[in-house]
């Protein structure tokens, strides 16, 4: 199936590694052009070089109020248009509810929540009919994850914002949706497994509770993201799509 991605232009934030990079790789593989971001300029440039001539890397921190406008301008300058954005942010530090400080909450809110809201608003102002705004959130939108209190508190709020935005932008033909990864085999998930003191045992225990009995691969996530961002998914909006091997207990 042709996803209709050829020559479409997307911004993918947090794309120097992990899920963001996997999504950018699948988009470019199907003919899209991408602006990929990371907080480190060298790593952003390296990611873009690995993706090929249809990618440009930009150093940007989602928490920076100027980042959203900078990225939209970069897409326009390099590729002449913008068709969508995938807003992926690094996970905030782990911790229990009693341990996280006010400073950690404030920093996480600026980066994970408000930064994503700014990016979505900036993209919405630029997009036309057929545009799409995607959020990489987490399975914690539906089921809190032990030890990730900051993420548990902020990502469900972003899902609510995304749903509200989908209603606001629907009449303009702009779609808004979210992806909810769970145990995808990335550096971040391996780091979380290691917090238990026995990463191998933690992984085995987690896999035993996943109906497919394995962690997902970044490539599987990236293909799902590319489809949802593409014109092939043109009647999908306002939804949260689990990418979790069946881990979610509800429908």
Contacts of 161 (CB under 8 A, 6+ apart): 116, 117, 120
Contacts of 171 (CB under 8 A, 6+ apart): none
The pLDDT score that the predictor gives to residue 195 is 82
The pLDDT score that the predictor gives to residue 220 is 98
The pLDDT score that the predictor gives to residue 29 is 97
Nearest to 174, CA basis, from 227, 121, 133, 228: 133
% the chain with pLDDT above 90: 80
Look at 100 and 233; give whichever has higher pLDDT. Answer: 233
The pLDDT score that the predictor gives to residue 72 is 97
How far apart (Å, rounded) are the C-alpha atoms in residues 80 and 245?
38
- What is the average pLDDT value for the chain, to the nearest integer? 94
**Sign (positive or negative) of CA dihedral 129, 180, 159, 163:** positive
**Sign (positive or negative) of CA dihedral 111, 117, 120, 121:** negative
* Residue 85, CA atoms < 13 Å, CB-side half-sphere: 34
Dihedral angle at the C-alpha atoms of 57, 58, 63, 68, nearest 10 degrees?
Answer: -100
Strand, helix or coil for residue 5 = coil
Question: Could you give the C-alpha distances from 146 to 54, 87, 249, in angstroms and in order?
Answer: 40, 24, 16
Model confidence pLDDT, tens digit, residues 195-231: 888 999 999 999 999 999 999 999 999 999 999 999 9
The pLDDT score that the predictor gives to residue 221 is 97
Structure tokens at 31: 């003919």
Question: Could you give the C-alpha distances from 186 to 51, 136, 148, 216, in angstroms and in order?
Answer: 18, 14, 16, 9
Model confidence pLDDT, tens digit, residues 23-34: 999 999 999 999
Beta strands of the chain (E only): which ranges?
A: 9-12, 33-38, 55-59, 84-88, 132-136, 175-181, 240-243
- For residue 234, pLDDT over 90 is answered with yes
Contacts of 49 (CB under 8 A, 6+ apart): 55, 57
- For residue 116, pLDDT over 90 is answered with yes
**Sign (positive or negative) of CA dihedral 22, 23, 27, 33:** negative
Contacts of 14 (CB under 8 A, 6+ apart): 20, 37, 38, 62, 88, 89, 90, 136
Q: What end-to-end distance do the CA atoms of the chain give, in Å? A: 27
The pLDDT score that the predictor gives to residue 113 is 95
The pLDDT score that the predictor gives to residue 146 is 82
Cβ–Cβ < 8 Å for 132, 11: no
């Amino acid at each position: 199936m042709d996803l209709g991605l050829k020559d479409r232009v997307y911004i993918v934030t947090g794309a120097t590694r992990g899920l963001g990079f996997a999504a950018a790789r699948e988009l470019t593989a199907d003919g899209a052009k991408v602006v990929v971001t990371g907080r480190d300029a060298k790593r952003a440039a390296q990611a873009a070089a690995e993706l090929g001539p249809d990618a440009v890397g930009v150093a940007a921190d989602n928490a920076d109020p100027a980042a959203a406008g900078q990225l939209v301008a970069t897409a326009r300058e390099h590729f002449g248009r913008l068709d969508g954005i995938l807003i992926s942010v690094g996970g905030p530090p782990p911790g229990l509810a009693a341990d996280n400080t006010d400073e950690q909450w404030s920093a996480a809110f600026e980066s994970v929540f408000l930064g994503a809201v700014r990016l979505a608003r900036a993209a919405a102002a630029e997009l036309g009919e057929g545009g799409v705004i995607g959020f990489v959130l987490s399975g914690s939108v539906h089921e809190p994850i032990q030890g990730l209190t900051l993420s548990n508190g902020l990502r469900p709020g972003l899902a609510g914002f995304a749903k509200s935005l989908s209603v606001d932008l629907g009449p303009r033909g702009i779609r808004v949706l979210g992806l909810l990864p769970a145990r995808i085999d990335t550096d971040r998930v391996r780091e979380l497994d290691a917090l238990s003191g026995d990463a191998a045992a933690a992984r085995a225990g987690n896999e035993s509770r996943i109906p497919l009995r394995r962690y997902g691969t970044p490539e599987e996530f990236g293909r799902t993201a590319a489809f949802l961002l593409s014109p092939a998914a043109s009647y999908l909006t306002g939804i949260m799509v689990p990418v979790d091997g069946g881990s979610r207990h509800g429908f």
